[in-house]
Structure 1
Amino acid sequence: MTDYPPATLRLSPQALPAMRAAYDRALDDLGREMQKLRDVGHLAGPWLGDPVSARTVEFYNARVMDAPDGPFGAMVTYQQELVRVRDQLAEMEADYRRTEGDNVALWGRL
């Protein structure tokens, strides 16, 4: 395993709303696709009616769609991470606006 130094993202405060909006659009798109996958992702039953396809259906549904560490679970985790990043950007934007408001108020009194 390779250790990498922590990365620092530096951007202008004016870029925060655009970045947050991009995450909002990505979350909207992903949300629609995730809903489609929830609706059709589970196999309804054995397609041949035999024991092999029955075991395959059980395995697929259990490992791919229902397992927290399966592929669908990974997509849910990815969606949650995008939400955390978007929310962090919103917090950064609010902090910046608050700080700038404080600075404007301070300079106005000097």
Structure 2
Amino acid sequence: MDCLFCKMISGEVPAEVVREGERTLAFRDINPQAPVHVLVIPKEHHPNFASLAADPALLAEVTAEVGRVAEDEGVAESGYRVVFNTGSGAGQTVFHAHAHVLGGRGLNWPPG
């Protein structure tokens, strides 16, 4: 499989890991859009959010890990945004489900 995130999970491609669970991996985005920009992914390959949502237990693990990342990164109290881009039209560029955890600055709405 030629998936960048799967290669990060296997250690074939380096990542700045901030948390690792049995079924999840959290690492810093290489092109951060906020002072805190961490991606949380399932270790099991799911191409997008819709596929991940078909496994509610794994989705729950990913979202629980999002909360832990926010705590660890110091943005749980001040506020943070969680984004799943699904499909190229929504800006998904790596087709392995991932949650963006963004914080550490004001985040305008609507996002653009």
Q: Quick check: TM above 0.5? A: no
TM-score class, shorter: under 0.3
Q: TM-score, normalised by structure 2?
A: 0.22
Q: TM-score, normalised by structure 1?
A: 0.22
Structure with the largest fraction of strand: 2
